[in-house]
Amino acid sequence: MIIALFVKKEYAVEREITVNKPKVEVFEYVKFLKNQDNYSKWATMDPAMKKGFRGTDGKVGFVSAWDSEMKEVGKGEQEITRITDEERIEYELRFMEPFESTDYSYLVTESVNDSMTMVKWGFDGKMKYPMNLMMLFMDMEGMLGSDLEQGLANLKGILENQ
pLDDT in tens, 100-122: 888 899 999 999 999 999 999 99
Report the length, in residues, of the chain. Answer: 162
Q: What is the pLDDT of residues 26-67, one digit of tens each?
A: 999 999 999 999 999 988 889 899 999 999 999 999 999 999
Tell whether the torsion through CA atoms of 29, 95, 91 and 140 is positive or negative.
Answer: negative
| pLDDT value for 113 | 97
Q: Is the pLDDT assigned to residue 1 strictly greater than 90?
A: no
Give the pLDDT confidence score for residue 152 in this predicted structure: 98
Band (pLDDT 50/70/90 cuts) for residue 138 is low
Q: Which of 92, 93, 91, 95 is nearest to 75 (CA)?
A: 95
> Any bridge partners for residue 50, and if so which?
67
Tell me what pLDDT residue 4 has.
Answer: 41
Edge-to-edge order in the sheet of strand 63-67: 10-19, 116-126, 101-113, 88-97, 75-84, 63-67, 50-54
pTM of the model: 0.85
Domains recognised in the chain with CATH numbers? 3-160 (3.30.530.20)
Instruction: For the chain, give the mean pLDDT.
Output: 87
Q: What residue ranges in 24-156 does DSSP mark as E strands?
A: 50-54, 63-67, 75-84, 88-97, 101-113, 116-126
